[in-house]
Copies of this chain bind each other. A is one copy, B any other.
């Protein structure tokens, strides 16, 4: 780990003491989100120190041109940037004409932040001595409402501690914001209208190019000892509007400013009626008031935790880690809008661009399947079905024929929006994860309907892609897949990446099976699909030929599958020999050096063993784990979770526990030295898996839920719930026992350590 300043606490993220060096890290860690919008934990008042300002609206992006020197044919036109949205949280403060700025105060004491995950709010308090020696105390609480997801609320309190003072408070809206990752100091917003009405103000702005129309709004009121302070005046500039409150505070007197704010956008409203929509939501919110909204918030989070909480007794840092992961996943995506997805940084930063990666299918789906209503997982699958046409267009642009589909590596709307060839064109394993998710959904939910309704067409497009992407090697007498990048992005343009080849073969075979199954069981769907896709027996035979003769690189010497053809030509020095000063290598080494090194960013062969665990023996897993893990630097956030699960399966609990801490506290302890850029949201679902599938050993086999429970020696007990085929089972694992509690109407059979266990609704059974 690289930092350790967060106070361990079971339900809250807490920082105590002010350290300007940690401001940007905390801005990430204390981020808020409600699925529809989110924001970094920036200060309300002006801060002149190093800060990374960020507010984000789900689904609102900017298509940045990214032309580089030598353009590659087939690149998409743009890179979709996660867009910093207008700021509604700002409140500028001055005391006797000295602005409050934590960067220039004489002294800051009792600084404290708390992100209360149980109830979904964030609070910050401190005492500060200004350059004019005035000492004040600030306490501010804010949250983004889950119930009214276009609104957030702030209660900002200030007390003067050492004398009387004239204080000015200026709550404002600001659309003159930029992206930190803007290459050219470009602005991405056009402000078209600024207006106010009493204690409410509105800025209408639309994004350049994509033309998302938004209205950012606020409503504020201030009072001192229950007496209202009036707005004295209003100030406007081209991109900003503020209200001006001025009052005299006596020593010990407190002023409270309450601010409601948020966005209405053309994604959900008529672009011409956004102010009206803003007024409507402000009416609802102000009727409830800050306290009423907060009560609603606690209730909404309580419902989420009811189903998704994981408890860990005896290890508060492990407990804090898993709750932080579950909390952030729920802040990012709630499954309400099937046009949205789970961005790798959620609402906590700009990096990577786009919102949808293979992360969704490979890592996030299991979490949402098990902790939410089945519709949420369906929404995630439907998202890809809705993008099938664009995936076909994308493949055609790269020269594929016959409606082969290649899903984009990064997307906002189904179009590819990333343009490094080794990723965009070659990291094609993403197609496999999308097919695997269809299989996984059926396996876990038991709901086959997605396949005849939508999934089979996706599977056919994907199988066509793999069939065409492989070529016959007369040297090897097999089909090979040349020029790919596997999940281990520390190798590019390699031949016969084992994971990719294995997925390709599986995708084709799974598509062939499902075609048969739909043909037999869903003849109407089958006829529609055949008419639409024009598959023929001849085509299917060709697929079968490629799948059957797929090449897999192997090492006889090591008795393992090789990550790719050339792996054994590398200098095979394990990662433990790397000097600490060289880590993380992606920040220290040039790309060519990384590429020719043996170091692995994330599970690659082992990722395949994770997906297809039942295809390999435990001995095979052990051999591959022992070969590859020592070269793995886990510099992908997606790496430690899968390794933790496999270490647990191999009974290596100490290693599984270490990897669990690395995945669950990746951001809290900043293992990858980059938390200031934002959080790693998608890998947080991997953390959930590392408990449920790793220690809990949950598997679905032959339609049954299986458990192989273990417990790290650091823990007294832990518990989780899963929604399996619409039945909710709570699992409590203690040192010497495992208990299962079924919520539902009918009894159900599970298997624990290979033994049958009948669960009766309402009763807790030990195994």
Chain B residues near A67 (CB-CB < 8 A): 183
> A592 interface residue, CB < 8 Å from B?
yes
> A72 interface residue, CB < 8 Å from B?
yes
Query: How far apart sit A183 and B588, CA to CA, in the bound complex (Å)?
Result: 29
A399 with B184, Cβ < 8 A, contacts A475-B568, A492-B493, A495-B569 known: no
> A472 interface residue, CB < 8 Å from B?
yes
A425 with B568, Cβ < 8 A, contacts A69-B353, A73-B587 known: no
Q: What is the minimal beta-carbon distance from A186 to any residue of chain B, in angstroms?
A: 7
Q: Spot the interface stretch: A187-195, A415-423, A518-526.
A: A415-423
Which of A65, A74, A569 counts the most B-chain CB atoms under 10 A from its CB? A569
The answer on a CB contact under 8 Å between A569 and B493 is: no
Contact with A73, one of B471, B492, B493, B589 (Cβ below 8 angstroms): B589
Q: Name A708-727 residues within 8 Å CB distance of B.
A: none
A476 to B, closest residue via Cβ: B569
The answer on a CB contact under 8 Å between A418 and B591 is: no
> A571 interface residue, CB < 8 Å from B?
yes
> A650 interface residue, CB < 8 Å from B?
no
A480 to B, closest residue via Cβ: B569
Contact with A571, one of B398, B472, B495 (Cβ below 8 angstroms): B472
Q: What is the minimal beta-carbon distance from A410 to any residue of chain B, in angstroms?
A: 8
A586 with B79, Cβ < 8 A, contacts A425-B592, A592-B425 known: no
Q: What is the minimal beta-carbon distance from A238 to any residue of chain B, in angstroms?
A: 22
Chain B residues near A570 (CB-CB < 8 A): 471, 473, 482
Query: How far apart sit A376 and B492, CA to CA, in the bound complex (Å)?
Result: 42
Contact with A471, one of B69, B184, B419, B596 (Cβ below 8 angstroms): B596
Q: Flag A372-398 by CB within 8 Å of B: 1 or 0 each.
A: 000000000000000000000000011
> A531 interface residue, CB < 8 Å from B?
no
Query: How far apart sit A662 and B572, CA to CA, in the bound complex (Å)?
Result: 47
Q: Name A53-93 residues within 8 Å CB distance of B.
A: 65-70, 72-74, 79
Chain B residues near A425 (CB-CB < 8 A): 590-592
Query: How far apart sit A418 and B69, CA to CA, in the bound complex (Å)?
Result: 8
The answer on a CB contact under 8 Å between B419 and A69 is: yes
Q: What is the minimal beta-carbon distance from A31 to any residue of chain B, in angstroms?
A: 22
A73 with B352, Cβ < 8 A, contacts A426-B592, A493-B595, A569-B482 known: no
Chain B residues near A593 (CB-CB < 8 A): 398-399
Chain B residues near A399 (CB-CB < 8 A): 589-590, 593
> A566 interface residue, CB < 8 Å from B?
yes
Q: Size of chain A's interface in residues, with CB distance under 8 A?
A: 56
Q: What is the minimal beta-carbon distance from A498 to any residue of chain B, in angstroms?
A: 15
Chain B residues near A586 (CB-CB < 8 A): 73
Q: What is the minimal beta-carbon distance from A567 to any residue of chain B, in angstroms?
A: 9
> A565 interface residue, CB < 8 Å from B?
yes
Q: Flag A419-452 by CB within 8 Å of B: 1 or 0 each.
A: 1111101100000000000000000000000000
Chain B residues near A591 (CB-CB < 8 A): 72-74, 421, 425
Which of A183, A471, A596 counts the most B-chain CB atoms under 10 A from its CB? A596
The answer on a CB contact under 8 Å between B65 and A184 is: yes
The answer on a CB contact under 8 Å between B70 and A420 is: yes
> A8 interface residue, CB < 8 Å from B?
no
A473 with B568, Cβ < 8 A, contacts A399-B589, A420-B70, A425-B591 known: yes
Chain B residues near A566 (CB-CB < 8 A): 482, 495, 565-566
A588 with B73, Cβ < 8 A, contacts A482-B596, A569-B480, A596-B482 known: yes
> A483 interface residue, CB < 8 Å from B?
yes
A568 to B, closest residue via Cβ: B475
Query: How far apart sit A419 and B423, CA to CA, in the bound complex (Å)?
Result: 16
The answer on a CB contact under 8 Å between A397 and B590 is: yes
Instruction: Tell me the number of copies of this protein.
Output: 2
A595 to B, closest residue via Cβ: B483
Contact with A475, one of B68, B184, B398, B569 (Cβ below 8 angstroms): B569
Chain B residues near A183 (CB-CB < 8 A): 65, 67
Q: What is the minimal beta-carbon distance from A374 to any residue of chain B, in angstroms?
A: 35
Q: What is the minimal beta-carbon distance from A596 to any residue of chain B, in angstroms?
A: 4
Q: What is the minimal beta-carbon distance from A526 to any residue of chain B, in angstroms?
A: 33
Contact with A421, one of B398, B571, B592 (Cβ below 8 angstroms): B592
Query: How far apart sit A423 and B422, CA to CA, in the bound complex (Å)?
Result: 13
Q: What is the minimal beta-carbon distance from A551 to any residue of chain B, in angstroms?
A: 9
Q: Name A528-566 residues within 8 Å CB distance of B.
A: 565-566
The answer on a CB contact under 8 Å between A590 and B73 is: yes
The answer on a CB contact under 8 Å between A592 and B184 is: no
Q: Flag A446-488 by CB within 8 Å of B: 1 or 0 each.
A: 0000000000000000000000000111111000101100000
Chain B residues near A66 (CB-CB < 8 A): 68-69
Chain B residues near A590 (CB-CB < 8 A): 72-74, 397-399, 425
Chain B residues near A421 (CB-CB < 8 A): 591-592
Chain B residues near A492 (CB-CB < 8 A): 493
A571 to B, closest residue via Cβ: B471
Contact with A419, one of B68, B186, B422 (Cβ below 8 angstroms): B68
Query: How far apart sit A68 and B67, CA to CA, in the bound complex (Å)?
Result: 8
Which of A69, A184, A482, A572 counts the most B-chain CB atoms under 10 A from its CB? A69
The answer on a CB contact under 8 Å between B483 and A596 is: yes
A72 to B, closest residue via Cβ: B591
Which of A352, A399, A421, A592 counts the most B-chain CB atoms under 10 A from its CB? A592
The answer on a CB contact under 8 Å between B595 and A420 is: no
Given A483-B596, A495-B569, 8 additional A-B pairs, CB 8 A? A70-B420, A73-B588, A73-B591, A398-B593, A473-B569, A475-B569, A482-B596, A565-B565
A sample of 20 inter-chain contacts (CB < 8 A) reads A65-B183, A66-B69, A67-B183, A69-B79, A69-B352, A69-B418, A69-B420, A73-B587, A73-B588, A74-B592, A425-B590, A426-B592, A471-B571, A472-B571, A474-B572, A475-B568, A482-B596, A483-B596, A495-B566, A495-B569
What 9 A-B pairs have minimum CB-CB distances, sorted nearest first? Answer: A74-B590, A425-B592, A482-B596, A483-B596, A398-B590, A72-B591, A475-B568, A421-B591, A473-B569
